[in-house]
Amino acid sequence: MAEPILALKNVTKHFGENTVLDDIDLSVHQGEVIVIVGPSGCGKSTLLRCVNALEPIQGGEIYLNDEKIDIKSKKLANLRQKIGMVFQSYELFPHLTVLENIVLAPTKVQKRKKEEVQQEALALLGRVGLLGKEGSYARQLSGGQKQRVAIVRALCMHPEILLFDEVTAALDPEMVREVLDVMLNLAAQGRTMIIVTHEMQFAKAVADRIIFLDGGKVLEDTKPEVFFEAPKTERARQFLSMFEFNVVKSQVEKVSS
Amino acid sequence: MGITIAILLGFICAMIQYYKVPILKRVVSVYIELSRNTPLLVQLFFIYYGLPKIGIQTNAEICGIAGLAFLGGSYMAEAFRSGLEAVDSIQTESALSLGMSNYQTMAYVVLPQAISVSIPAFMANIIFLMKETSVFSAISLMDLMFTAKDLIGLYYKTTESLFLLVVFYLIILLPISILGSLLERRLRHAGFGS
Amino acid sequence: MLDLGLEVLSKGNNMLRLLGGLWVALKISLLSVGISIALGILLGALMTWKNPVTKAILRVYLEFIRIMPQLVLLFLVYFGTTKAFGWDLTGEMAAIIVFVLWGTAEMSDLVRGALISIPRHQYESSEALGLTREQIYFYIIIPQALRRLIPLSINLITRMIKTTSLILMIGVVEILKVAQQIIEANRMSSPNAAFGIYLTVFILYFIACWPISMIAKHLERKWR
């Protein structure tokens, strides 16, 4: 097997007394789509934030293409360019238009030509169905539109790997789909992605591998078919049963009859 | 002039506090507490009459500018600081995750937002400082108040000179005050945010 | 050794006299604050009424007082009334009048701000719970408004205390005036007294105001 793009080795993270990530090992290969699931507070989002060095880690190492990601490193900004991240709360820059939002980092950070980046940005906006919105401000867009812009903003930096942190959690149900479709498309193009999500149907459809995280530990790391049909651990079974309503319903029927 | 220095001083102080520069941070917070909790007049008296005694020479004008900068700096610092605090930390994170350096994040993402948040407080401070200039006559600066006092002394025309004084102040301060409240309303109306 | 002129302080009852001056300043500001708070709450509540005439009058009053420097107001009241109505106000009286006028204006604006900052649905949801009008104000609105109001009004007190330094200009013998007198009196024996005395005044004001602003800051943080 080829060398992994991203490798986490024995990563440990504490918030004060709390251990949030406990000895995590994970490697991600070119073109892989990894979906991380688990109950709230299990450390999913923290894991992504550590990969992007937004949080310091207390133990272990994270490598991107054999380069160590270190929060104190001078080359950190360089490494971050190769990692695209999309947040739950979109975080478009409110004082800039859609196009300015997308073009800012490529022109200022990568010093690319403005015309070239603008063209690419418009092409990408077209691909996510937002052509014509480039002059709008974030406050004039719906949540789903904002999130698609945020994805384009990350893509325009030509990252080698994309991180999605519960990107549909703040959206109205009818907007979830438009964002998920964009992500499915990216997966189909062979992008390398790590996705944290609560949308189990989507996870099943998009993932090459499912990671089940609980209590800061990787409890399962397996193919989606296996995870959803025959989870190995009791915790995972419990977790999955929270998304099922037929059990409750049959109990209600029992009581009423 | 004093106000310009005050803005600069305030900006520097706010930056120091924002980035939590080790020792300077302490110095800044002592300065802010000192200058906010003492009256301008007392600060001026100290600078004008007190400092020369230990060998620091000042004249009325420098003293006025220094006093205004000393007082205004802390108010401006607070205005900037609250503006900076209003920018969500995850905005900074999303800029960093795009590979921007700390400087780029500050210049392109945080500052533009922070400044528009702090404009109303800014305007209020400028008005406040302009009002405080009336205090300067106490240290014989040629200020409106001072001229008025002179006129009262010269001609005993209290009412007229007082009236003129009030009119002058209104001419200077009303436009700023109106501009300030207009800006405030506009900003609130066009409020950023999702 | 640099002569800082601090020895003048220990001479006779100079320190006591300075403290006495500070007391005059504090007395005037506390008295004015008391009256201002009472009047300010009344006016502030009036400002939230729908009546356009009262609203307009109060608005003009507020803007006028706010825009005028306090020193101008002090002169207007102290000299102006003598001239216009032949009143002979003492400096202290004039100071209290001005501070009450100013404090009331500021306070009413704070009260208005606190009242309108309470979101509409707070009223609506209390109505939905079946509370009466009085109950809504007493249990829901006033407690919330107070929390926003108290730190701000405490700040107003420190602003008043600081502004009292201006009243020496209309001849009230407060701390700065006392300081000037002491410096005058000791001109020969200790020429550097200005430094030490004004430094002391500076510190005394700080000691008077700083704890009050700390309390305000603390409450603000606690109740946010």
The model's pLDDT over B97-134, given as tens digits with 9 standing for 90+, comes to 888 888 888 888 898 888 888 887 787 787 777 766 66
**Is B131 part of any domain?**
yes
- Of the listed ranges A220-229, B120-129, B160-169, the least confidently predicted one is B160-169
Identify the domain containing residue C141 by its residue range. Answer: 7-223
Residue range A202-224: mean pLDDT, rounded: 92
Segment A225-249, tens digit of pLDDT:
999 988 889 999 989 888 876 655 6
Over 80: is that where the pLDDT of B20 sits? no
* Mean pLDDT across chain C: 78
CB atoms within 10 A of CB C16: 10
**Is C89 part of any domain?**
yes
3-state secondary structure of C119: coil
Over 60: is that where the pLDDT of A38 sits? yes
pLDDT given at position B193? 33
pLDDT given at position C106? 84
Gyration radius of chain C's alpha carbons: 22
> pTM for this one?
0.72
Domain residue extents for chain A:
6-256
Within 171-200 of C, beta carbons closer than 8 Å to B belong to 176, 179, 183, 191-199
3-state secondary structure chain B: CHHHHHHHHHHHHHHHHHCCCHHHHHHHHHHHHHHHCCCHHHHHHHHHHHHHHHCCCCCHHHHHHHHHHHHHHHHHHHHHHHHHHHCCHHHHHHHHHCCCCHHHHHHHHHHHHHHHHHHHHHHHHHHHHHHHHHHHHHHCCCCHHHHHHHHHHHHCCHHHHHHHHHHHHHHHHHHHHHHHHHHHHHHHHCCCCC
Please tell me the distance from the alpha carbon of residue B120 to that of residue B127, in angstroms, as a whole number: 11
pLDDT band at C11 (very low <50, low <70, confident <90, very high): low
Q: What percent of chain C has pLDDT over 90?
A: 0
Check CB contact under 8 Å for A109 and B193: no
Residues of A in contact with B187 (CB under 8 A): none
Across the A/B interface, how many CB contacts are shorter than 8 Å?
77
**Is B194 part of any domain?**
no
C220: contact with B, CB 8 A cutoff: no
Check CB contact under 8 Å for B132 and C66: no
> In this predicted model, which residue has the larger pLDDT, A186 or C148?
A186
pLDDT band at B165 (very low <50, low <70, confident <90, very high): low
Over 60: is that where the pLDDT of A52 sits? yes
Please tell me the distance from the alpha carbon of residue B146 to that of residue B154, in angstroms, as a whole number: 12
Segment B29-56, tens digit of pLDDT:
888 888 888 887 788 778 777 777 666 6
pLDDT given at position B194? 27
pLDDT given at position A120? 94
3-state secondary structure of C137: helix
- Of the listed ranges A33-42, A143-152, B162-171, the least confidently predicted one is B162-171
Q: Which CATH class is domain A6-256?
A: alpha beta
> In this predicted model, which residue has the larger pLDDT, B53 or A104?
A104
pLDDT given at position B46? 80
Q: What percent of chain A has pLDDT over 90?
A: 54
Identify the domain containing residue B118 by its residue range. Answer: 2-189
pLDDT given at position B162? 61
pLDDT band at C220 (very low <50, low <70, confident <90, very high): confident
Over 80: is that where the pLDDT of A149 sits? yes
Task: Tell me which amino acid residue A19 is.
Answer: T
Query: How close is the nearest chain B Cα to the Cα of A194, in Å?
Result: 15
Query: Residue B156 is part of a domain; what is its CATH number?
Result: 1.10.3720.10
Residue B86 near residue B37, CB atoms below 8 Å: no
Instruction: Give residue for tokens 């999130």.
Output: A147
Going by C-beta distance under 8 Å and a sequence separation of 6 or more, which residues neighbour residue A66? Answer: A3
Burial classification of residue A111, based on how many CB atoms lie within 10 Å of its CB (0-12 exposed, 13-18 middle, 19 or more buried) = exposed
3-state secondary structure B43-70: HHHHHHHHHHHHCCCCCHHHHHHHHHHH
Segment C37-56, tens digit of pLDDT:
888 888 888 877 777 888 88
B94: contact with A, CB 8 A cutoff: yes
pLDDT given at position A37? 92
Query: In degrees, to the nearest 5, what angle opens at C-alpha C70 toward C-alphas C69 and C74?
Result: 125
* Mean pLDDT across chain B: 74
Please tell me the distance from the alpha carbon of residue C201 to that of residue C162, in angstroms, as a whole number: 12
Residue A208 DSSP label: S
Chain B residue closest to C203 (CA)? B38
Residue range C89-112: mean pLDDT, rounded: 84
3-state secondary structure of C202: helix
**Is B175 part of any domain?**
yes
Chains near C, with 3+ CB pairs < 8 A? B
Residues of A in contact with B99 (CB under 8 A): 77-78, 80-82, 105, 109-110, 157
What domain count does chain C have?
Answer: 1
Check CB contact under 8 Å for B39 and C162: yes
> In this predicted model, which residue has the larger pLDDT, B17 or A220?
A220
**First-to-final CA distance of chain C:** 50
Complex ipTM, two decimals? Answer: 0.75
Check CB contact under 8 Å for B50 and C198: yes
